[in-house]
Amino acid sequence: MAQQIADLRDIEFALFEQFKIDELSEHEIFADFNKKTIKMIISEARQLAVKEFIPTNKPGDEEGCKFDSGEVKAPECFHRIYDLYKEGEWLAMADDPESGGGGMPYSIYLVANELFMGGNLSFMLYNGLTHGAAKLVETFGTVKQKELFLKKMLSGEWSGTMLLTEPEAGSDVGALTSTAHKNDDGTYSITGNKIFISGGEHDLTENIIHPVLARIEGAPAGTKGISLFLVPKYRVNDDGSLGEFNDVVCTGIEEKMGLHGNATASLTLGGKGNCIGTLLGEENKGMRAMFVMMNEARQLVGQQGFSLATAAYMSALNYARERVQSAHILKPKEGGVPIIQHADVRRQLMIMKAYVDALRSLIYFSGVVFDGARVSQDQEEKYALERLIEILTPIIKGYITDKALEVTSHGVQVYGGYGYTKEYPAEQYMRDSRILMIYEGTNGIQALDLFMRKLRMDNGKPFLDFLARIQKTVENAKACDSLQNLAACLQDALNRYQEITALMGKTAAGEKILNAVAHATPLLEVTGDITTAWMLLWRATVATEALKDNPKKKDVDFYDGQLKTAEFFIKSMLPITIGKMNAIANMNGAVVEISEAGFGGL
């Protein structure tokens, strides 16, 4: 069976039945994107992913990137798909047409990305960072910077990166040592070293545009003194043509566990004193500006994790249907059966399906919220939707990438011994997923962001609005006789969750703040669990209504699958979440009370 990376029926269910995304065409800016057009776009993206991206995933992983004397060559097979991706204008499909974009709903961009990243994540990393860097230019750039860089970046003619991390300043960006000296012509001479730069050097484009964080000489210490600069690999002349090399030298690339097809580079800027950048935005406000890109990147990383999870699930599901081994436990004398008939394999597949279904809905929901903010004419509503996106960001980045590793691990297990070999894609999905919990802000940082900032933002109103949306789904489910029990279970979990968040907030306000902080990651996990149950119950209510309309047999099976998936998670896994919340309620301080020597190893 041909390799699959996503369930098209489930994609359409989430888009058109759960979120009714085609109703966006009622708004003027999306008038051209009715259901038929959206399905055509998704079909084109899927065809490109299946026919072109998937065949390059394994070869790109095996070949990897090659470093030689400051130059990096991407896997050879990436050049063709880069040209196809660029020609299809996929990078800027949801951006403003005046900037060179396609003006499509962001929700549809997320679907296309799901397919492309599931087909070849290493390749798509080059494009994701380019888009984020271009948005910085669009948001903070001068007229000249936009004229010189924006359309060439959004078209994919030039690529982009994000230069934050330094050898002695990882998650603590404020400790960076890169400096900027202001020149008489208003430009800046940049000096510094950056590491772990995804796509920092490669041969897919003729120029690479680097947004760089550095400190202007004499600026305050810490994040308050950081500015953002636009530093191209090759200088750009006033007419848009390429000038001389800009003293941005790649000193090496990392040998990594996964994502071998994407170059993770170390870069030296101004080693010969000839690196010139221009200020992007205002002096000493670079960190605030960079968060525009980082927030987009964090949501993107969550989708990267989901894309690997859904690809791993589809791969494991197809294998389980084909792989014949051992007799059915109820028919021991009838010979081997496909392993999907064995209860424990079904359990693993159900765990994978529950997360994949729920996380697809969560990601699409974030797109719906984003598009809603774009079309809203009510400033209060627009503000509320933008704050909701902020609440969702650490859940999408942190929780989804945690679960991506879990889902891809189950995928290896379903394959058995073959899953641990390179004969099948399961092991690559798992390897590629591991970094997602680390880059763009470790998941521990996402947990702190959720607990210390997002729950308290605007006196807690956006967070309460988020909980109110979950409550609304619970109320809708209570109106369905067949879902009342599941709704009651989620209601109990939601009530307990509200008690736990209040307890953590109270603890954080007292002397035992570290006890609360030590439970930030468990809080993120239970928040994600509640969100997963929410999305699955929402799906179940939609499926219940659809079953009243006498659907075709294959759709009956699909909708029943939605009901059984929600039942499984809420009945079998949500009780574990209750246990996690009970553990949090103890506010045990062992983690912060143990001495360093008490950890041993001395």
Catalytic residue among 52, 166, 201, 440: 440
The pair of three-digit structure tokens given for residue 310, joined into one six-digit string: 């859904």
Residue tagged 């084909």 (tokens): 322
Q: Is position 440 annotated as part of the catalytic site?
A: yes
Residues 6+ positions from 158 with CB-CB distance below 8 Å: 130, 149, 152, 205, 206, 207, 208, 209, 232
Residues 132 and 292: their CA atoms lie apart, in Å, by: 8
Q: Which residues of 261-300 are buried (b: 16+ CB within 10 A; e: fewer)?
A: bbbbbbbbbbeeeebbbbbbbeebebbebbebbbbbbbbb
Give me 423's structure tokens.
Answer: 């004969």
Residue 328 and residue 335: Cα distance in Å, rounded? 8
Q: Cα-flanking dihedrals φ and ψ of residue 452, to 5°?
A: -85, -25
| CB 568 within 8 Å of CB 576 | no
Q: What is the DSSP string of 75-139?
A: -TTHHHHHHHHHHTT-TTTTS-GGGT-----HHHHHHHHHHHHHH-HHHHHHHHHHHHHHHHHHH
How is residue 593 written in tokens?
Answer: 């009370």
Say how far apart CA 418 and CA 383 lie, in whole Å: 50
Q: Which residues pair with 229 in a beta bridge?
A: 212, 279
Using CA atoms, how far apart are residues 472 and 495, in angstroms rounded to an integer?
Answer: 14
- Residue whose pair of structure tokens reads 């468990």 in the numeric block: 522
State how far the Cα of 222 lies from the Cα of 537, in Å rounded to an integer.
45
Q: Which two tokens stand for residue 150?
A: 């924006």
CA dist., res. 202 & res. 145, Å (int): 23
Alpha-carbon gap, residue 525 to 400, rounded angstroms:
10
Query: What are the b/e assignments for 546-562, b being 16+ CB within 10 Å?
Result: bbeeeeeeebeebbebb
Element (H, E) at 465: helix 461-478
Instruction: Give the Å distances, CA to CA, from 561 to 78, 389, 475.
Output: 38, 29, 22
Q: How far apart are CA 52 and CA 55, in angstroms?
A: 6
* Exposed / middle / buried, residue 1 (Cβ in 10 Å: 0-12, 13-18, 19+): exposed
Q: What is the chain's length?
A: 602
Instruction: Give the residue numbers marked as catalytic.
Output: 440
